[in-house]
Amino acid sequence: MAQSHPPEARAFSRNSPQIFLKHRSSSCSGFTRHELLAIVVISIILLAVAVQHVLSVPRNQSSFTALRNARGIYVNIFVDVVESGGPRLATSNDYNNSTDYLKDLLVSETLPAQSWGEFGHKLVTEPVLGRYDGTPDSLNSFQPQHNYWSVVADLDAEHIGSPFLISRNLSSENLKPDYGSKEKLPLDPMIHKGKKLLVIFLGGNANMLGQRHLHWDVLNPDRLDHIILHPGDAVEIQDAK
């Protein structure tokens, strides 16, 4: 015998699909105004981050290239440790600026003849064509505006871990020996917007110091008190040795 249902149950059974469909229709009606606004804001933020990343790529690539070239300079200088008993480090008595020091490394054949552009930074220094060919004219074509590197003077080869080549945006005439761990390095805001410093340490370690590491205790861990030779105003050299 077929089981009968109370009238109330039959009525609910017939109406329940309609109730379900109505509920489903109301739940899928679309985004509210606040939800749409939130999506737009998030999209704008993600787009800004993506654009900033794209714009920073060529700057970072150029900085890494500059670091690689500077490490090549370092390696060539310290080959002299084996060949002649000691590297040709800059001394404050012999040099007034880093440009003359780098030129002297070429004249003495401590550095091999190379493109002048390898001493620069594509987005910071002025471009200069050609390379050193042993003539005074060639040597004089390399000027301070083409040179990206400052040099720490009066170092000894034993000062492993001390800065040797420093990008030209460090606005200090000396390494600072007495410092607090939170004191920021004085950087030229017109170069890299004051946000990073490129350094080659004795030992060959090459670093790009970002915002969190722009402190004297990171740059100068041995607390040396040495003069920094900046690109300066190089004098014209009359004779190539």
pLDDT tens-digit profile of 34-79? 677 777 667 666 655 554 444 444 457 889 999 999 999 999 888 7
Q: What is the per-residue pLDDT for 21?
A: 44
Measured between alpha carbons, how far is 90 from 151 in angstroms, rounded to an integer?
A: 7
With a CB cutoff of 8 Å and minimum separation 6, the contacts of 52 are none
More confidently predicted of 210 and 237: 210
Radius of gyration (Cα) for the chain, nearest Å?
Answer: 32
Instruction: Please give the torsion angle defined by the CA atoms of residues 56, 61, 67 and 70, in that order, rounded to the nearest 10 degrees.
Output: -130
Percent of the chain with pLDDT over 90: 44
Measured between alpha carbons, how far is 228 from 90 in angstroms, rounded to an integer?
A: 10
Q: What tokens appear for 163 in the block?
A: 């800065």
Residues in the chain: 241
* Cβ 87 vs Cβ 77: under 8 Å: yes
CA atoms within 13 A on the CB side of 87: 22
